[in-house]
Amino acid sequence: MDEHRSRTAILVMDMQKDFIEDWSPCALKGAKQIIPNVIKAVQVARHRGILIVWVVKENDPMGRDVELFRRHFYNNGGKAGPAIKGSEGAELVDGLVIKEGDYKLVKTRFSAFFATHLHSLLQGAGINSLVVTGIQTPNCIRQTVFDAVSLDYPSVTVIVDATAAATPEVHQANLFDMKKIGVLTPTLQEWSESKA
């Protein structure tokens, strides 16, 4: 296995039914379109021996661990709140499966680094290069990427067509900001064909 690849992890962010399926009030417009590319990115990562980290939100049914601005979703004892631990909505969308050797990381806020052990996990595995896929660009993707840059990961990549926001304009504006801090923004094809 290539040394660089063994020091790389791919983060698959929030690809959960509550954030994607049409029946959910919290579904992100445009999220369904990236599912095939996220599946392909995971396949490429598996083939290359890259660590796959499934970053998922799992919240308390009462909403005690969610951001203040989202707590109104949980006021009725968790009947309507998104990504409640153990609910169907917290499951990964069809086509994405956690396999042996992958790692599942639970978060309750935007960043995968905030109040989690992600940084320790990655350091312990010798990871210094991150590839990010999933949703959504201005929130969880952006916060995680900015935290990774702040934590001095020398290589941070966001696959532009395996990530999504509510609109293409919001997506592009956030990618523009990330590029300005040194984040790489290839397409899935460019990343798949690269040696990294």
Number of domains in the chain: 1
Chunked mean pLDDT (size 10), the chain, 196 residues: 75 97 90 97 97 96 85 68 90 97 96 98 97 97 98 98 97 98 98 85
Here the CATH number for the domain that contains residue 178 is 3.40.50.850
pLDDT of residue 4: 58
* Residue ranges making up the domain that contains 86: 3-193
* pLDDT score, position 70: 82
- Based on the number of CB atoms within 10 Å of its own CB, is 133 exposed (0-12), middle (13-18) or buried (19 or more)? buried
Kindly provide the b/e burial profile for residues 101-113, where b requires at least 16 CB atoms within 10 angstroms of the residue's own CB.
Answer: ebbebebbbbbbb
Strand partners, 156: 130
Q: Spell 53-65 as b/e; 16+ CB within 10 A means b.
A: bbbbbbbeeebeb
Q: Is the pTM of this model over 0.75?
A: yes
